[in-house]
Structure 1
């Protein structure tokens, strides 16, 4: 057996050997002993809590002596050795930034009641509450702010051990159990009735909340979105949302049902708080996570509650497309051909875990579903509205033959009629059904969306309207059919306003609505006011303005703080003000109202070809301020001649107008120069005057610009001229990316 090798030992040299004598130092001044680097000085508990360097001075360290703190090195009578009383140090630094500036990482001066940055950007300003939540890992926090810390091993603690016993004094680090339970109950009362928030199983979530076994990230997300939607400004909901988002991103490679539920709530939080770029990017992560978990397929081996929760979670991801893609394939998160799920069931079946067959998104010939429910009908209607939008785009691009347009419209009409036939008697619209409905928000959103789908379909025949079909298409439609389309469009628009009026009068004023309700109210008001300009209109301009006020009241009352609906409210207010000026001029008999032109001067359908990828001016994607910096890729390698040529070309593109005749007006497009961003919020295009002089872009919308296509359908978009879509907005100098 081989012996183990022993380590080499140093050579033993005798004291009288020449080698040792030559290596011994000569007599000289006595030097101080070098301190042992392995021996660590003691650190008092106060300095450990404050995370500062401690000099380890006996009895009281220098920091505690200077600041007047009780040092743990001071031995108190009656206490065991190593136990000390430490008062939590006062927090000397506070976050002065408001919640919007803190979330966007922009400079905030902390003015009250609103900071100058929020006032300049016209957004709601709120500040986080001053809360002090402490927790000690190895200590006990008393109500008086005293922490008992066991510091007997502080003198020889390693760096990893020095963190033990630290107190987390970060404001709003997590909601306490009482606040959590209250916010979760508010979530199920106010948010759960909405289509996009109905993916949590109430009995299970409440049980886990009581047992304090609920997923921490999901808990933070529920509390954050509920506090924001209900305007609980005293709570630190922005910090909760940031913590949940950071934890999700830290575990991005671990797909989880709970993390996806939390991520959807964080995306809604970002949308409602105005952080559209972050919401857009996180939506793609949510779709990837849903597909990674295979939520688009059924799992029959699971329990009924688990299966229905999976379905509802995926359908919530599907509804995200309404905010960004508006029917464009390249932005779709969940294409319908990849969905192999049945529709969600009613709440009473979901709560008790009972299986009900509800059918697929697109009903087939063998579909014999008897119970569909409000949520299932709403999803089918959402699919139909996207199909109508794609049909409108094909018409605008000239890809739909004039001879087939009438047949396509009739097929949509039949599908919409069949959709309402699946509603039970108590789900059909009436004031009595509205007041008795348990889910009033879902009830009116469904019926408003159904009428809006008809408006999107029939507005193609509104000659002179911004979203009308191109002139060659209109000329190919029989005049009698165009008149019928106009009548039906205005009739459904007035139905939307009537539903809004009924809800304002008889509905629950405490419930919440989703953005699509504001979109329907906005579009119906535009159509009703436009109808008063049609020759032979049955509604006067004054009556049309009064009807539009009902839509504005709905948006103002139910969306007072929503960043995603503020552009709708502002544009509608400006448009109503413009029509009011027209009414005043008519009253003074100094203004002659011209009728809309029967035909448009341009007869080329090819001018609409570049509208294939166009979104509406109110699309959240266009409000995201994304910057395409592709020109920076080869910037440093360009020669002086080449760079000058490119700059000259860019200047020519920027200054040379491209005219396009729409309703007798000419418009021009400005190419965005470097270091500027696309920002569609409030920018509607550049319209030249009749003599060809270019005017500056104006964010004000008026009734005269309605024919020129300067305001657009915020849900569906339209295939209009590209010149009306683009505007330039320079980022404020104090705003960072």
Structure 2
């Protein structure tokens, strides 16, 4: 009797069978009776598939383990069933994992110092073995880049993502490889999709900074988590298969499609503005491209299964699950893509076309773009305002990119509150509700991402400015002051703890001077109608009370949202008020003064 290829590879007795032998049937293998390989024939035996991993107790006693939790043997013997990690992990990867997760430990100040030590050791190991193209080194590079991104060290993160993409190409992660098991293939896919997202965030719509081409990706979209956990193979469509959207796809697959459209919108905006200025072309000629992106986003929204559509109930079902952040990120980025598409015709945005070009454009097209931008910014505000309090005991979402999304939505809402908005306006009461929800949501994240406090400071200034709708919007800062890709790169950026040490030394030298009263130009009291607004770092309970008094309509109030508790410095080894006395995008020095 001829043994099957699987039993022959495993060197066990094969009982044979019409369709599958007993051993392959029991282990779930695909049984095949190909001819035995001969030397030089080129036939390569199938890769051996291992059974379930044995627990520590069964492995010690050399007993068969059912692989459950607990396994049958431990359950019968009333023994503790424990599974140790198998295999070896490189020290660089372990150090990178510890460094990235250190900011979530209880003692944040000590964790920041320890995290810096771990990441420096990991970096030394990676560069000493830069020529070793292994999956573990690639994973470590991705985590090191993520660590620097968390610390606002975008220069380093920018370089690490490029290195990681090169290594991923060398490992052929952009192609399917059937010699690996389903779980191993899925791990490789997810790592490549992680690089896909990071590369697009680092490029920011600048085509020459994009390293990972979507056309080169010949891999499936991520599979549902259940299939991954139970090792149940499934075929999912590729990113380019727009006509094969399946309802059983996980949220991460839909989010990848949204990120892909967003990247192409940014590339289009970047090239489109330059093309218009170089050729003096009218923006009306780009209307078909606008409509194409709108249709792509609509197709993604229509393909979402009913259980993934946004509603308060849908969020409540995920409020205490790992899917919470992905669910919120999917929906706010859907609306964020529209805001980034329409902001070209919104005066005030740095990315907008020159005012002369906008004024020469059809008023109908300008009004349409501005109304759509405000509509989707309002949708983001509604999502946050209606759900952020449902997870009051935990972080609402853990994705740091929400700083940018909520900040851009705040800018669109701010334009609508001021007289200079030529199309659609918004009442201060409505805007105030959104600003407060944004501040509450982001302020909780500052304990873990303190370098992003400048976003929150700017939204606070926006909140203060909506009480003066007749005041002109402040001038924006130049791109070279905001975008690290547009300014000269310094030799080395300081980490959080180094900045904290410098800030601490400055405050020590200054003593109590910062608590002394300022020059008596005008006193801020609750009985005066003309006041002097304090600096950004002085925003606190008194300022919020002053804003409440200036609002004639009572709802919503500060008591409804408990804003004051979020206006202090974050509980981290970093003082957000010393980062900058200005906002991130605006020059608020004169705009918020009475």
TM-score w.r.t. structure 1 length?
A: 0.51
The answer on 1:482 being equivalent to 2:366 is yes
- Alignment CA distance shift 1:390-1:522 (3 Å): same
Distance 1:703 1:407 in 2: 41
* 2:263 aligned with 1:386: yes
> In the alignment, is the contact (CA less than 8 A) between 2:93 and 2:140 conserved in 1?
yes
Matched, 1:573 2:457: no
The question of 1:417 aligning with 2:298 is answered: yes
Matched, 1:560 2:438: no
Instruction: State how far apart, in whole Å, the 1-side matches of 2:253 and 2:125 are.
Output: 33
CA–CA distance in structure 2, aligned partners of residues 207 and 391 of structure 1 = 53
> For the residues of structure 2 that align with 1:319 and 1:290, how far apart are their CA atoms?
14
Q: Work out the CA distance in 2 between the residues paired with 1:404 and 1:298.
A: 41
Alignment partners' CA distance in 2, 1:237 and 1:208:
28
Q: State the distance in 2 between where 1:298 and 1:453 align.
A: 30
Query: Which of the residues 369, 372, 378 maps onto 2:249?
Result: 372
- Whether 1:278 and 2:163 are equivalent positions in the alignment is no
How much does 1:540 deviate? Answer: 2.1
Root-mean-square deviation (CA, aligned residues, Å) is 3.4
Q: How far apart, CA to CA, are the structure 2 residues paired with 1:698 and 1:557?
A: 22
Note if contact 1:431-1:502 (Cα within 8 Å) is conserved in structure 2.
Answer: yes
Q: How many residues align?
A: 411
User: Within 1, Cα distance between the matches of 2:124 and 2:392?
Assistant: 36
Match for residue 235 of structure 2 among 357, 363, 368:
357
Q: Supply the distance in 2 between the matched residues of 1:401 and 1:377 (Cα, whole angstroms).
A: 34
Distance in 1 of aligned mates of 2:480 and 2:233: 40
How far apart in 1 are the matches of 2:175 and 2:479?
31
Question: Structure 2, unaligned stretches of length 5 or more?
Answer: 1-80, 493-578
Structure 1: where are the runs of 5+ without partners?
Answer: 1-205, 587-591, 597-613, 629-680, 686-696, 706-737
1:398 is matched with 275
Does the CA-based 8 Å contact 1:373-1:423 persist in structure 2?
no
Distance 1:405 1:336, change over 3 A: same
Mapped contact 2:282–2:361 kept (Cα < 8 A)? no
Question: SS of the counterpart of 2:120?
Answer: helix
Q: Name which of structure 1's ranges 556-565 and 293-302 shifts more when overlaid on structure 2.
A: 556-565
Query: How many angstroms does 1:428 deviate by?
Result: 0.6
CA distance in 2, matches of 1:627, 1:240: 21
Corresponding position of 2:416: 531
Residue aligning to 2:317: 436
Alignment partner for residue 213 of structure 2, among 335, 354, 357?
335
Distance 1:352 1:518 in 2: 35
How much does 1:622 deviate? 5.3
Indicate the residue corresponding to 2:140 in structure 1: 262
* Structure 2 counterpart of 1:246, from 102, 124, 140: 124
Structure 1 pair 299–263 and aligned structure 2 pair: CA distance change class (3 A)? same
1:288-328 deviation digits (Å, cap 9, x = unpaired): 21111111111122100111100111111112224421021
- TM (norm. structure 2) is 0.62
Residue of structure 2 in register with 1:427 after alignment = 308
The residue aligned with 2:335 is 451
Deviation at 1:447, TM superposition (A): 0.4
Structure 2 distance, partners of 1:564, 1:422, is: 37
Please give the residue correspondences for 1:163-182 in structure 2 after superposition, counting only pairs within 5 Å. Answer: none
C-alpha displacement at 1:342, in angstroms?
1.7
Cα distance, 1:541 vs structure 2:
3.1
Shift of 1:563: 4.7
Higher CA-based Rg = 1
1:595/1:523 CA distance change after superposition, 3 Å: closer
1:644-692 deviations in Å (ceiling 9; x for gaps): xxxxxxxxxxxxxxxxxxxxxxxxxxxxxxxxxxxxx96999xxxxxxx
Of residues 185, 203, 207, the one that matches 1:325 is 203
* 1:229 Cα deviation after fit: 3.5
Q: Hey, which of these two has a bigger chunk of helix by percent?
A: 2
Judged with a 3 Å threshold, the aligned counterparts in structure 2 of structure 1 residues 479 and 274 are, in CA distance, closer, same or farther, namely closer
**C-alpha contact (below 8 Å) 1:402/1:476 kept by paired residues:** no
Provide, for residues 518-570 of structure 1, a one-character-per-residue CA deviation record: whole Å limited to 9, x for no partner.
Answer: 11111111111110123575522354244222212211112333155233223
After superposition, the Cα gap between the structure-2 partners of 1:475 and 1:277, relative to the gap in structure 1 and judged at 3 Å, is closer
Query: For 1:340, what is the secondary structure of its paired residue?
Result: coil
Distance 1:361 1:700 in 2: 41
* Separation of aligned partners in 2, 1:323 and 1:265: 15
TM-superposed deviation, 1:699: 7.7
Q: Is the 8 A contact 1:218 1:259 kept in 2?
A: yes
Distance in 2, Cα, partners of 1:566 & 1:278: 20
| Structure 1 residues 259 and 489: alpha-carbon distance in aligned structure 2, compared to 1, 3 A threshold | same
1:625 aligned residue: 489
Counterpart-to-counterpart distance in 2, 1:208 and 1:251 = 31
| DSSP 3-state at the match of 2:183 | helix
How far apart in 1 are the matches of 2:480 and 2:306?
A: 36
